């Protein structure tokens, strides 16, 4: 079983993005949801089975109403951060 956390950083402002609604989905079903904390972080309590999952971030920038990141769960802890600006974003597998 695996665990998951995320972090949303506002690259334009140079600080964490607080209060971003985030959903964790698999096969079209919502497994969990929450909002980023004062440090822009969200840790999901659910343990994840192997397979493809999606994080949906309701970022509401001038260009992106939401961002969906699909990723494959294998084992261990996964951290999926997003660096966000009004017209671009990037993500990577963090630690």
Is the pLDDT higher at 74 or at 4? Answer: 4
Is the pLDDT higher at 20 or at 94? Answer: 20
26 within 8 A of 51, measured Cβ to Cβ:
yes
The residue with tokens 């001038």 is: 62
pLDDT band at 49 (very low <50, low <70, confident <90, very high): very high
36 within 8 A of 20, measured Cβ to Cβ:
yes
User: d(Cα 53, Cα 11) in Å, to the nearest integer?
Assistant: 25
Name which of 16, 7, 10, 1 is nearest 89 in CA terms.
10
- Which pLDDT tens digit goes with each residue over 68-91? 999 999 889 999 999 999 999 999
User: d(Cα 9, Cα 39) in Å, to the nearest integer?
Assistant: 9
């Amino acid at each position: 079983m695996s665990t998951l956390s995320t972090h949303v950083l506002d690259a334009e402002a140079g600080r964490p993005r607080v209060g971003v609604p985030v959903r964790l989905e698999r096969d079209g079903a919502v497994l969990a949801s929450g909002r980023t904390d004062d440090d822009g972080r969200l840790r999901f309590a659910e343990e994840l089975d192997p397979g493809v999952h999606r994080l949906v971030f309701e970022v509401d920038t001038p260009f992106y109403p939401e961002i969906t990141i699909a990723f494959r769960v294998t084992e261990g802890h996964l951290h999926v951060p997003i660096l966000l600006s009004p017209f671009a974003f990037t993500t990577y597998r963090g630690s």
